[in-house]
Structure 1
Amino acid sequence: MFGLLRHLFKLQFLFVVVAVFAGIYHVEIRQVLRQYSDLYLNTAGLEEAIPVKFQAGLFTPAELLQFDGEDGRPIYLALLGSVFDVSRGIKHYGTGCSYNFFVGRDASVSFISGEFENYDPETADDVLTLKPDDLIGLANWRDFYEKDYVYKGKLIGRFYDEQGNPTAYHHKYLELLLLAQESKKQVEELRSRYPGCNIEWSESTGTRVWCTNSSGDGKERSWAGHPRKLYSRGNKSFQCACVPEQELDEIDASGKAAIGDAMLKPYDNCAPRAQECFYRV
């Protein structure tokens, strides 16, 4: 009987030891995963694949507000719903410093507008009404913070829900950002293929546009080109572009540029092979 009790006691003790070590192991695993989660979250495409419990922290607006640098507290700010520790930039973000406006909140719009006087939590991070170039500018700001400061987690609200998942608003922002980036890339390709014209205005002749071997970007090339009106996607106004001789016939027939859905049109009252044209607005 006593032998059986001693045996049961040993088994119970063994279970306790295993449970303790299992708990420690579980805690250590969680700590390691948290330690490296910032690195994973900074890798494109992996953010949504990591379970929320292993990601960095989630903050409510009230919680984020506490990280203001006062009484030894760290300095946090949010941009596009991502929270960063900017404590080492205290000379910029500390009390009374130029960027202290951003501390403890998400004021994404102000990164573009430069408005540092009034903070409205209802509109301060509402970025969908910004211009495409502004959306790209915000993405560049976020890249800057990821590179120079410490990512701490997500702000619950417009961009992330209470489980840390991207909201429908966040997905819409990413869609608009992608469109803006594609549009910018197309514009850059168009400018490279069809450099800008030289332009001058006088009261007597109106606007004069002409092409040379270095018009547009100032870099020498082997051809001068001929002036055409360049209309980019969704834009009613035009820019003057210099088109290579070998592309003129096809472009003048179709009106389409060789890149994207841009349009190239000849100037009124200007010879098809002229290297300068005049027009009045």
Structure 2
Amino acid sequence: MTLSNPLNLLLIPPILYLAFRIVFPSHPPSTNVVPGEYDADVYNWMPATHPEVIVHRKYTAQELAELDGKGGGRILLAIMRVGRDGKVSKGLERTVFDVSNGRSFYGPDGMYGNFAGRDASRGMAKQSFDEEMLTPVDQALDALDDLTQSEVDNMSGWHEHFERKYTVCGELVEANAEDALRGL
């Protein structure tokens, strides 16, 4: 570094000031702070509590039904993923989305609240929010083999929309498939 360059001369004072502040901080760290509590004298970027972690897993219809947002908990719903060929296949998964951020839409009082905790595939495909669009949680998953191509495309569009907007947190599986996975 040459001191003949005026820019180098201008940079020396800020560098010296920063080095001084590193060696001699203006506020010494507080030692009497209880973890998770706020100390106004100390800047801390860490949150007081860690946010809830979402684990990607398999859900049965009964397990999903418990996560309908009633009581202020998480809100999940499932939509079938349409294959690349644009057709519904029995082997394709139903993606489970965490729609808790959309509580005003999917919560108990929301306009799409009946989809909370359920497989919303048929309702999304047919653009219907009627209760008869929902398969009861104690029955097998809806095969959706009677949907028209425009309804399948509609469901696919909803799935893509949800993938862009909400967190994917698992897949919906048949209850007996889940029992087989657990070794029951």
TM-score with structure 2 setting the length: 0.53
Bigger Rg over Cα: 1
Deviation of the 1:115 alpha carbon: 4.3
The 3-state SS of whatever aligns with 2:143 is coil
How far apart are the structure 2 equivalents of 1:154 and 1:97? 23
What is the letter of the counterpart of residue 162 of structure 1? E
Residue 164 of structure 1 deviates from its aligned partner by: 10
1:139 and 1:98 map into 2 onto residues whose CA distance is 21
Tell me which amino acid in the other structure corresponds to 1:97: G
Q: How many angstroms does 1:99 deviate by?
A: 0.2
Task: Map Cα deviations across residues 174-227 of structure 1 (whole Å, 9 max, x no partner).
Answer: xxxxxxxxxxxxxxxxxxxxxxxxxxxxxxxxxxxxxxxxxxxxxxxxxxxxxx
Of the candidates 91, 114, 117, which is equivalent to residue 101 of structure 1?
A: 114
Alpha carbons of 1:124 and 1:57: their partners in 2 closer, same or farther (altered >3 Å)? Answer: closer
Structure 1 runs (4+) greater than 6 angstroms displaced: none
For 1:109, give the aligned amino acid: R
| Counterpart residue identity of residue 116, structure 1 | D
Structure with more helix by fraction: 1
SS in 2 for 1:95: coil
Is 2:151 aligned against 1:138?
no
Please tell me whether the aligned partners of residues 110 and 124 of structure 1 are also in contact (alpha carbons under 8 angstroms): no
Structure 2's unaligned 5+ residue stretches are 1-52, 81-93
2:170 is aligned with what amino acid?
Answer: G
- The SS at the match of 1:68 is coil
Determine if the alignment matches structure 1 residue 162 to structure 2 residue 178. Answer: yes
Tell me the SS of whatever aligns to 1:67: coil
| Alpha-carbon distance between aligned partners in 2 of 1:72 and 1:129, rounded to the nearest angstrom | 36
- AA matched with 1:86: V
Is the 8 Å Cα contact of residues 156 and 164 (structure 1) preserved in structure 2? no
1:153: Cα distance to partner?
0.3
Q: 1:151 to 1:164 in 2, by over 3 A?
A: farther
What is the alpha-carbon distance in structure 2 between the residues aligned to residue 155 and residue 141 of structure 1?
16
- How many angstroms apart in 1 are the aligned matches of 2:155 and 2:180? 21
Q: Distance in 2 between matches of 1:61 and 1:124?
A: 8
Judged with a 3 Å threshold, the aligned counterparts in structure 2 of structure 1 residues 65 and 98 are, in CA distance, closer, same or farther, namely same
**Structure 2 counterparts to residues 233-272 of structure 1, below 5 A:** none
Gaps of 5+ in 1: 1-34, 39-54, 166-281
Give the TM-score of the pair, scaled to structure 1.
Answer: 0.36
How far apart, CA to CA, are the structure 2 residues paired with 1:161 and 1:65?
17
Task: Give the AA of the match of 1:76.
Answer: L
Write the mapping of 1:38-77 to structure 2, written as runs, cut at 5 A: 56-77=56-77
Is residue 90 of structure 2 the alignment partner of residue 84 of structure 1?
Answer: no
Deviation at 1:107, TM superposition (A): 2.8
Q: Check if 1:152 corresponds to 2:169.
A: yes
Contact 2:79 2:119 in 1 (8 A): yes
1:148-182, CA deviations, whole angstroms, 9 ceiling, x for partnerless residues?
Answer: 00000011129x943999xxxxxxxxxxxxxxxxx
Say which of 128, 131, 138 aligns to 1:117. 131
CA contact (8 A) 2:76 2:96 kept: yes
- Asked if 1 retains the 8 angstrom alpha-carbon contact of 2:64 and 2:118, the reply is yes
Q: Greater relative contact order (Cα 8 A, min sep 6): structure 1 or 2? A: 2
Rounded Cα–Cα distance in structure 2 between residues aligned with 1:76 and 1:110: 15
CA distance in 1, matches of 2:168, 2:180: 14
